[in-house]
Each structure stands twice: as structure tokens, then as C-alpha cells.
Structure 1
Amino acid sequence: MDGTSVKLRRATYHLWTFTASKLIGSFGAQIYSFAISFYILQLTGSATSFAANLICSILPRTLLGPFAGYVADTYSRKRVVITAQVVSTAAIIVLMGISILYGLSLPAIYGTTVVLSIASTFSGVAFTSSITGLVDEDRVQRAMSMNQMSISLSAIASPAVGGLLYGFVDMPVFLMLYAGASLLAVLLESTMDFTLFAVRAEKAEGAPKEKMLDSMKAGVAYARLQPLLMAMIWVALLVNFLFGAVSVGYSFILIEKLKILPEHFGLIEGATAVGALLMSVYLAARKPFKSPLLVSKWGILGLGIQMSLLALPLLILLPYGGMFGYYAILALISGSVIPLINTPLQVYMMKLIEDDYKGRVFSILETMAMALMPLGMVLFGFLYDVLPAPWILFGSSILLILTVFVLLRASVLKSVSEPAVSLPVETAADQ
């Protein structure tokens, strides 16, 4: 058997091991999130306490994204992933010990959420940067699709499993199950070769490591030299900000304005995960798109149109069953559009960005995407209190569509067919 065949067999093993690891980790994390959210609300009855836990999850990811990118590009990505997963496991075990000895408290929960968020940030950036090292180029899209499948399956199953377990087992048992799932993910990841197909620049023996600040500057400079990357960074920033109109308004409109029952609201949300799962299965089976950015562009435009459609039952009187069916179908379509946007975009970026810069560029994208989310939630929360919901959704929809037409205009997409601009491997201080 020749070396190429051995590598391809190994890549197939990586494909399934990667998927299993992500499924186990995502499933455990979502069940934990479900249980902790329920526990906080039962313990305090306060939406503020619940929101504080969300902030403890979002803020570290936003602040530490650039550092995670530097670490992923400077050190062994496999070591970063495994270390982060071990830290997550240890944090859950410590919280389990506290719950057995003293009982759970809000400071202990918040502290654990911060640690888990930090570990997830480093692990996520390192894992994403390693996809092209784990599998061959022809199966990058399949790997990204199977990752989305894992997330969607977890989103569908975890509320049901979490609700069942929460009614029958104590919190320490919940935490023990999560710790066990996290440990199993560590064992799976330890068997993978993260450099099977990687092409990282060779560094001279004993050469000093680039300083963190210089390394971050080099990552920003690399992105700035590629107009397409900068366009995608701005799209991510503005789309996530404008989508705050949906994040804040979705539950407000369905539950408060239209009086959708909680069990039906849960089914509508489940339809989103089902749509994402079906589209991910399709993307995993089909060949890579010839024009991935064009597919993503039209997907974002579709999402902008769906944003305005959310307001339609506020303007046109529908029977209860009609409203439920309308939003369930809209959720199914919306869920299917999200992988259609993300997967081609991520596959293209995997191939565009040099391996030595992947960690920093992906961390910049994640940081920028999340940077305006808290501001967007606060702003749209205020707007929903003072303006009619249809105005907000229609206005945000128009701005989102204009953003895509301006930032991903034909002249920018044309640069896809041109060679990518590369930045020499040097410190920003040398420029």
C-alpha cells in the first residue's frame, strides 16, 4: 500500500473521529447548558442572574479570541486542543466536587462558565485551523458539514435528554456525565494526527518565537492585504449586529405578541435544528461548490428576506394553527440556510488562508463577529420597547441586504479567481 493510500485511510479515520468527538462534546455541553440554565432560574427566579451567566460565556470568547489565534499558530494545535479539553473536564469535576460538598452557588457556576468559555475558545480556534491538516482537500467540505451535523443533532436531542435527566437525577450526576463525555472526547482527539496534510512553514532550530503582539499584528496585516478577507470580516461584524433584531425579537414576538404556547414554541425552535441537519447531510454528500462565496452571498440575502417575513403575522391576521405552521416552515428554511452560508464560506477560507495564519485569521473573524453582539442585543432590546416590531425587522432586513450587496459586490467576488495575496512570514515589527 503506497503512502498516499495510507494517508487517505488515516484521513477517513480522522473524519469520523472528528465528528464523534464534536458530537460527544457538543451534546455534553448543551445538556450542561440546559441543566445550569434551569438551575439558575429555579434558584433565583431572576432573568438578570441568567443573563449574567450568558455574559460569562460570551465575554471571554470576545476578549481572548486574538490570543487563541496566536497560540494556535505558534504551538502544537493538537496539544492546544487536548489541553483545553482537559481544562474543561477538570473545571466540571471541580464544580461537581463543590456541589457534593457545599452545594452549588452562583459564583461557582459563573466561575465554571468562564473557564469553560476560555477553554472552548482556544480549542475551537485550534480545531478549526487544523481541518486542512486532518483531512485531504477534497473532503474539507464534508468535514465542515459533519461538524454542523453534530451540532444540529445535539441541538435536537439535548433538550429532550436534558429535561428527562433533570427530572430524575441530581446535579452532581449531570456534572459527572458531562465530565465523562469531555474525557471521552480527549481520548478520541489524542489518537488524531493534526499535521497529516498540514503545510506549516519550517522554523529554524532554536529560532526565537515571535512575540505575541508582533504575531497578532502580522495576522491583522495578512488579513488587510486580502480585500476578500476584509470584506468577510466586515460582513460577519455587521450581519451578527443586525441579526440582533431576530435574537431579541424572535421570542418576544412569538411568545409575548402572538401568544404561541411554550410547547409549540419549542417545536418551532426544533424545526431550525432539523433544517440545519438536513442541509448538513446534503452538503456532506455533494461535491464542493464551484463558487462558494456566491452561494454564501445568496444565503445571507435569503436570511435577510426571512428576517422581514418574521413580521408578516403581525400585519396579517392568521389563525393560531396557521401562525404555528408559518413559523415552523420559516424556522425549517432558516435552519437550512445557515449551513448553506457557513460551510462554503469556511471551506473557501480553509483553502485561501496559509496554514501559518489560520489560527489568527479565524480568531479575528470570531472576535469581530461577536464584538457587536452584546451592543446589538441592548440596542434592539430598547428599540422593541419603543417601536413597532415590524418596523425594526423590515429596517434591519433592508440594512442586511444592502450590507451584502455593498461588501460582497461583484468586483470583490471577482478577486476569488485571482491569486491570493500572501504576506511574507515575518514579524509586524520588521515591516
Structure 2
Amino acid sequence: MNVETTVADSSLLRQRAFVAFWLARTCSSFGFQMFSVAVSWQIYSLTNSALALGMIGLMQFLPSVLLALPAGHLADQFDRRRIVICAQLIEWGALLALVLLTLFSWTDKTALWGLVFVLAVAKALEGPAMTSMLPSLVPPAILARATAANAVGGEAAVIVGPTLGGFLYVAGPDVVYSVSAAFYLLSLVLIGRIRYTRPQQPRLPASLSTLFAGIHFIRARKDVLGVISLDLFAVLLGGATALLPIFAKDILHTGPWGLGMLRGAPSIGALLVGLWLSRNKLEKNVGMIMFGSVAGFGVATLIFALSSQLWLSLLALAALGGFDMVSMVIRGSLVQLDTPDDMRGRVNAVNAIFINTSNQLGEFESGVLAAFMGAVPAAVLGGVGTLVVVGVWMVLFPHLRRRQKLENEAAQE
């Protein structure tokens, strides 16, 4: 067997592994989105309580933050594929438990909250391991395209999953949970078929030093610090989508159908841009493209804030989602490529904390500002704040601004 044949076989295996990985992530995303709709509707039907609905968010948020660093440590010390399989088995078991509880009418809010918490714990453990697998499945040169393809699957799940779950709920929540479990089972089978290998690493005992190693690494790498902190502050300030019900009812004077269109517009924009990015490579000026995309996010937020026409608001939100997709693909690829494999789990865990926290706090910040100064001024302030952050970060991180390629270049300044 000659060298060319060996290289071709290796390339084919990696391609198959990535396809299986993409399908697995998409299936689990569909399952989770359908589950989320069903459990929310079921708990509200049982309680008619907004607080009970809020508890679902709390049950999901706490594990994602509290377990992120330990999960990152596990992802760097043990076989990541096995961690994902174990975590998804727990998620699958929680969904089966929901099916049985619903079939036998044993459901109450405490049991539902408990299973939501179990599923959230498993997802928290799965996240860093799953994210850290991707760079080992594709060559560095096409990691951005692979990241975009993964994001496309996720956006498709966000758009279609809740709708499918809502239609199936007519037949009963147990039907939704059963289909969700089937999606997770398919994901498990696909993950189990992936040939995933990584260099053997010496196992380090869990300690404060190893748990917080991801934070120390990010602080020492200026490009990684700039990328993660840019996302944190831009999302904190640009959370206008949290105010969509106010804009739909009081400013655009539309009903629930209009609100649904407004909620779906960012995902549609992100999906279309993600499809383009998955087929085209970002060759140069990635730093300025990233900053330009975050600035575009801010401008789109301003247009949405000042719009009084539904069509213009929809276009602004679609543009917002598209700009966010470009920024997310570049940011995610830079973090992965600038991080050595033995640190990816912990760095991705820290990144996940920032993403989860900024999303939640961004919605809270927008709500507080809207309560004090009105929805339009709050959204305008968010858009302006995003543009200010872009300008400041371009000054604070000049190497990131001048960065040409996604692949790691010269040593950080």
C-alpha cells in the first residue's frame, strides 16, 4: 500500500467520523429541543404557575455553571467519547423515566424538576467532552467549516425541534418524550461508531490547580482572552431578543404569530449564513471579519430597536443572527486551534460558563433596563454598547485585530 492510498484512506475515515459526529449532535439537539417544549408545557398545565416554569430554567442553569470546571477536567483526563456516551445514556434514561411517569400519571412538578435536573447534569458533563472532540476529527484547515456545519445542525434543531414537539404534544407528552429518546438513542449509536483517538495523556488528580487551569491558560493567551471576553460583553449588552414580546405587542402591534416570526428570524439568518460558511473557507483577515461581525450585530440591534415595521424588524433580526453566526464560527475556531488538545476540555468549559452566563445575564440586563427606561431606549443602549465594546477591544487586542488566519500564527504578543 503506497503513501497516497494510506492518506486517502485516513481522509475518508476522518470524513466518516465527522459525518457521524455531526449527525449525532444534530439528533441530540433535536431531542433536547423537543423535550424542552414538552416539559415546559406539561409543568405549566399541571401548575398554571410562572414560578414553576422559571424553576425549569434554574434546574438547567445551575449544573451548567457549577459542573463546568469539573466536566472540563474530566474531558482532559479521560476518553472523551466514553464521557459523551455515558452522559447521553443518562439523558436517554431520564427521557424514558419521563415517558413512564407520564404513561402511569405519576407526574408532579417535583418529579419533573428532578428529571430536568438530572438531564441538565448529564448535559453539563457532556458539553466540554463533545466540543473538544471536533478538532481531532477534522484537519485544522477546515475546522471553521466543520464548526459552521455543526452550528447549522443546531440552528435547524432550534427552528424545527420545538415545532415538531408542539405538534406531537397533541398526542400526549409521552409521545414527545418517546421521540426525543429515540433521537438520543440514534445519537448514542452514531457516537459509538466514531473512531476517535487522541494522544495518551498522563492523568492528573483533580485539584484547584487543575480545575482552574483553563482560566489560567485563557489569561495567558491574549487572542483567546480577547475572543472570549468580546463575546461575553457583546452578548451582555446586546440582549434585545429578550424584549421581543414587548416589541411585538406594544411597538410592532402584532400578535402571537408575529412574535413567533420574530423569535425565528435570528435562527433563520444564522442558518443561511452557516450553510454558506460550511462550504466556504475563511482565508484571511479573520480578526477584522470577527470584529466587523460583532459590530454588524450591534448595528442590526439598533435597526431593530428603532424599527416600527414588522418586515424591517424581521430583516434586522435575521441579519443579527447571520452576523452572530460569523462571529461564533470564528471565535469557536480560534479558541479550539489556539488551545492544545490536553487543555481543550477545561478551556471549552470556561468558555461555556461565559456563554451561559452572558446569555442569562444579558436577558436580565435588558429586562431591567427596559423596566426603568423603556424597551426602545434599552435596546438602543445595548446596540450602542456593543459598538463601543468592539472599538475598545480592537485597541486592547491589536494582535487579534491583525490576525489573518484561523490557524495559530506567531506567538502571542
TM-score (norm 1): 0.88
The alignment partner of 2:67 has SS state of: helix
In structure 2, distance between residues paired with 1:352 and 1:237: 19
Deviates more, 1:336-345 or 1:229-238: 229-238
In structure 1, distance between residues paired with 2:109 and 2:27: 26
In structure 2, distance between residues paired with 1:249 and 1:160: 21
Residue 229 in structure 1 maps to residue 232 in structure 2: no
Q: Residue 416 of structure 1: CA displacement?
A: 4.1
Q: 1:211 to 1:44 in 2, by over 3 A?
A: closer
Aligned counterparts, 1:3-402, within 5 A: 3-167=6-170, 169-195=171-197, 198=198, 200=199, 202-203=201-202, 209-244=204-239, 246-313=240-307, 318=308, 323-402=309-388
Which string of whole-angstrom CA distances, capped at 9 and with x for unpartnered residues, describes residues 177-197 of structure 1?
1112111100100111222xx
In structure 2, distance between residues paired with 1:397 and 1:329: 16
In structure 1, distance between residues paired with 2:155 and 2:111: 29
Matched letter for residue 30 of structure 1: Q
The alignment partner of 1:311 has SS state of: helix
Matched letter for residue 166 of structure 2: G
Contact 2:301 2:320 survives alignment (8 Å): no
In structure 2, distance between residues paired with 1:252 and 1:60: 30
Q: 1:256 to 1:47 in 2, by over 3 A?
A: farther
Q: Residue 202 of structure 1: CA displacement?
A: 4.4
Q: 1:391 to 1:268 in 2, by over 3 A?
A: closer
Deviates more, 1:157-166 or 1:4-13: 157-166
Q: 1:266 to 1:392 in 2, by over 3 A?
A: same
Q: Which of 379, 398, 419 is 2:410 aligned to? A: 419
Equivalent in the alignment of 1:429: none
Matched letter for residue 156 of structure 1: I
Matched letter for residue 185 of structure 1: S
Contact 1:25 1:185 survives alignment (8 Å): yes
In structure 2, distance between residues paired with 1:102 and 1:26: 27
Matched letter for residue 217 of structure 1: F
Q: Residue 413 of structure 1: CA displacement?
A: 1.7
In structure 1, distance between residues paired with 2:18 and 2:359: 32
The alignment partner of 2:212 has SS state of: helix
Q: Residue 284 of structure 1: CA displacement?
A: 0.9
Q: Residue 264 of structure 1: CA displacement?
A: 2.3
Q: 1:193 to 1:294 in 2, by over 3 A?
A: farther
Q: Residue 415 of structure 1: CA displacement?
A: 7.1
TM-score (norm 2): 0.91
Deviates more, 1:26-35 or 1:328-337: 328-337
In structure 1, distance between residues paired with 2:323 and 2:401: 23
Q: Residue 90 of structure 1: CA displacement?
A: 0.9
Matched letter for residue 136 of structure 1: P
In structure 2, distance between residues paired with 1:97 and 1:113: 15
Matched letter for residue 337 of structure 1: F
Deviates more, 1:251-260 or 1:91-100: 251-260
Q: Residue 78 of structure 1: CA displacement?
A: 0.7
Deviates more, 1:360-369 or 1:388-397: 388-397
- The total of aligned residue pairs comes to 405
Which string of whole-angstrom CA distances, capped at 9 and with x for unpartnered residues, describes residues 114-163 of structure 1?
22222122222111111111122233122211111111221222233222
Q: Residue 94 of structure 1: CA displacement?
A: 1.7
Q: Residue 256 of structure 1: CA displacement?
A: 3.9
Which string of whole-angstrom CA distances, capped at 9 and with x for unpartnered residues, describes residues 36-57 of structure 1?
2222232222222212111211
Q: Residue 216 of structure 1: CA displacement?
A: 2.0
